Amino acid sequence: MSEEGDYRGRRWFLRTLAQGLGIFAASGGANALLPPKPGRKLEKSAVAYRDSPNFGQVCAECRYWLGDKRCERVKGEISPSGWCMVFVKETP
Ligand code: SF4
């Protein structure tokens, strides 16, 4: 590969890395992946919440489901047939 090709490859890599970090930071960054502090809930958008199941997984079967359209980890009204990326299967 030529020197110019190497230069373009590095520029593309650095630009893609910067864009990826920007998207990660805008979506809540590592905070979205860490357990919330007691009393603090996550925004729906930070956990990719949706009102429909994900391959059979639903909020009503999640360990964080509180009933009455509430969740221990996510803010707002939550559907029992919804889902988000924090889902953890409730074990009996
Ligand atoms: S799947 Fe997400 S929104 Fe639904 S109960 Fe679990 S943590 Fe809450």
Which ligand 1 atom is the nearest neighbour of the CA of 47? Answer: 2
Residue 21 CA to its chain's centroid (Å):
15
Backbone angles phi, psi at 24, to 5 degrees: -60, -45
Ligand 1 centroid – CA 18 distance (Å)? 30
Domain boundaries, the chain: 1-30, 35-92
DSSP track, 5-40: HHHHHHHHHHHHHHHHHHHHHHTTGGGGTSPPPTT-
Q: State the distance from the centre of ligand 1 to the C-alpha of 7, rounded, in angstroms.
A: 45
Domain at 35-92, CATH class: few secondary structures
Cα→Cα distances 31→37, 66, 79, 91, Å: 10, 22, 23, 25
Ligand 1, pocket residues at CB < 6 Å = 49, 59, 62, 64-65, 71, 73-74, 78, 82-84, 86-87
Predicted confidence at residue 15, as pLDDT, reads: 80
Q: Are 46 and 83 in contact (CB under 8 A)?
A: no
pLDDT of residue 41: 94
Per-residue pLDDT of the chain (92 residues; tens, 9 = 90+): 577 777 778 887 788 776 766 666 555 555 556 666 667 899 999 999 999 999 999 999 999 999 999 999 999 999 999 999 999 999 88
